[in-house]
Amino acid sequence: MFAKILIANRGEIACRVIRTARRLGVRTVAVYSDADAKAMHVEMADEAVHIGASPVGESYLRGDKIVAAALATGAEAIHPGYGFLSENPDFVDQVVAAGLTFIGPSAASIRAMGLKDAAKRLMEKAGVPVVPGYHGEAQEIVLLASKAREIGYPVLIKARAGGGGKGMRRVEHPDDFSEALSGARREAKAAFGDDRVLVEKYVDKPRHIEVQVFGDNFGNAVHLFERDCSAQRRHQKVIEEAPAPGMTPALRKAMTEAAVKAAKAISYSGAGTIEFIVDASQGLKADRFWFMEMNTRLQVEHPVTEMVTGTDLVEWQLRVASGEKLPKTQSEITLSGHAFEARIYAEDAAKGFLPATGTLHHLAFPDKAPEGATMRIETGVRAGDAISPFYDPMIAKLVVHAKDRQAALDALGTALWQTEIAGSTVNTAFLAALAADTDFSAGDVDTGLIGRHQEALTAVAPPSSEIVAAAALAAAGAGALPASDDPWSSLAGYAHFHTVARRTRLRHGEDDILARVSVRPDGRFEVALDAPYDSVNSHDLRAAPRLARWPGHVTVFEGAVGYSFLVPDPLARTDEAAAASGSLRAPMPGLVKLVRAAKGEVVTKGQPLLILEAMKMEHTISASHDGVIAEIATEGAQVTDGTVLVRFVEEAA
């Protein structure tokens, strides 16, 4: 076993690797950018080395700096985590050339599977079924459009490099092919430095089922069963589970055998995942699955496999990379129970899952697992940490395991309800709604489920009068909130306000709320609220509200929803005229990638005006109303959250 390893990553995966290394007595070296100087993974590691500025191209993608850090600290091996350089064969070559061990597959294996088109040709030769489509080298638009017609619409344009849903577009009609191709190429170029694509048949009711495989350097390869990752938004996974619901013995046998065959075809060593697309339109059948791609690294969702097989895949990685054989044979790997993983992101589900930033002023996960379940919280952040625009906005992975799917699903819902995050917009309410969705609960999942149900899954009821009253009391400074059955008992006799009601203003979204807090003769509080809210007596708030106060704000939690209220400073001056002027602002920090309109142009509501790139994904900014453009951002401009992108000519009075 290694004495010391360097982890060429950040966030929750770096912390995850550190925990296993520590248990095995292996010392760890972290690397960090300017933005991560005080990050959790830096604090957890035995040593840490600064490798550059915040942008990934100046830090976490600098293989030369990472190798130099490993040599300088005496590390024997480098663990890549996932993302960044984890599937970069040139980086593997750098590591090996420096006399270090790469904790993962060989550069040759990564190259064999790194480009989707070449990988599919290789799998065809190995006898693994692949999706019908065009996987050739030629990239002329005329040829690609012709192939799309041959395949038959709808088709899927996919970047041949990388993953994570980047550089991917579904196309329903030939007239839309050209624009979709341009968007996919731009996104692929930005994310992977390679704008080449492949075109495949879009499966009508696709299930995304993948098989965890593991190989060693002695020719052995095993599978650790399957995971279902069909619950996706924007081609990115949000809830994963193991085993796959509705899996038949025949399909499991066919898929796992094909996955092991794929791994052996490239003499694979280490953790890998073979991803399949399954046509579920007529149920799960052994002849209706096709190879999509192989991820030659540890997956984000690996904890669900660990939970149902009782393994530590990071430990397996370290042991195999240090020269040991696989810890278990195929017959020794068994399934037990059911597990779910929910990815908690800083994102606004109601606004098309736009990434969000902010400071995590309050961060609290359940302190114990729901009854009858076990639970893991995989995170790389703490309360007080900031969500940076430079990296993926994942906050944590909530993982639960129970005896069967329904018990695990119940535990997932309970744990999401008990999670409290304030300071950034997060997706916990969406995740809880998805877990409770009728189709998802029944196991009737496919990659289009979220899209079909998106409006219902992202809808959040307005705050009730009780929630607003609780926020008003907290904003008015009405003492600490005790955790008793009667939360306001400690306030009896408190007469700070005497008989005069104290006016408190709150803002929730676009709504300004005026609350008048007064003390009743019995010493309790009464909160008078304007319509549409009802006045509330604190005596009626029988359960202690779950809330968090943070600078200028109060967040009240109800279930998995966090209702955040701005508490305006009454002494602060605001420019109402500017706020009311006709303009479009950046919903998040990003790069103005493409401008489609010009100053003086007459535009109509819904017309695309520019494309904003944030976190390697493209977001279209469209006109909110008919008008004439007075100013518009320039291509290449780096903007922050709230920056005015488009300003319209004001109408004459």
Catalytic residues: 297
- Backbone dihedral region of 152: left (phi > 0), alpha (psi from -120 to 50 degrees) or beta? left
**Which 3 state secondary structure label does DSSP give 570?**
coil
Q: Which residues contact 558 (CB under 8 A, 6 or more apart)?
A: 463, 464, 467, 546
Burial classification of residue 548, based on how many CB atoms lie within 10 Å of its CB (0-12 exposed, 13-18 middle, 19 or more buried)? buried
Residue 38 in tokens: 């005080």
Decide: 597 and 647 in contact? Cβ < 8 Å: no
Pairing between β-strand 627-632 and β-strand 602-603 as defined by DSSP bridges: antiparallel
Where helices occur in 8-160 by DSSP H, the ranges are 11-23, 40-44, 63-73, 89-97, 107-114, 116-126, 141-151
Preceding omega of 532 cis (within 30 degrees of 0) = yes
Decide: 459 and 473 in contact? Cβ < 8 Å: no
Question: Which DSSP letter does residue 281 get?
Answer: B
Q: Which residues contact 206 (CB under 8 A, 6 or more apart)?
A: 230, 277, 278, 279, 280, 446, 447, 448
Burial classification of residue 501, based on how many CB atoms lie within 10 Å of its CB (0-12 exposed, 13-18 middle, 19 or more buried)? middle
φ and ψ at 23, to 5 degrees?
-65, -30
Report in angstroms the alpha-carbon separations of 51 from 14, 140, 369, 502.
15, 40, 38, 53
Burial classification of residue 544, based on how many CB atoms lie within 10 Å of its CB (0-12 exposed, 13-18 middle, 19 or more buried)? middle
In total, the chain counts a number of residues equal to 653
Q: Tell me the C-alpha distance between 254 and 164, whole Å.
A: 26
Q: Which helix (H) or strand (E) holds 438?
A: helix 438-441
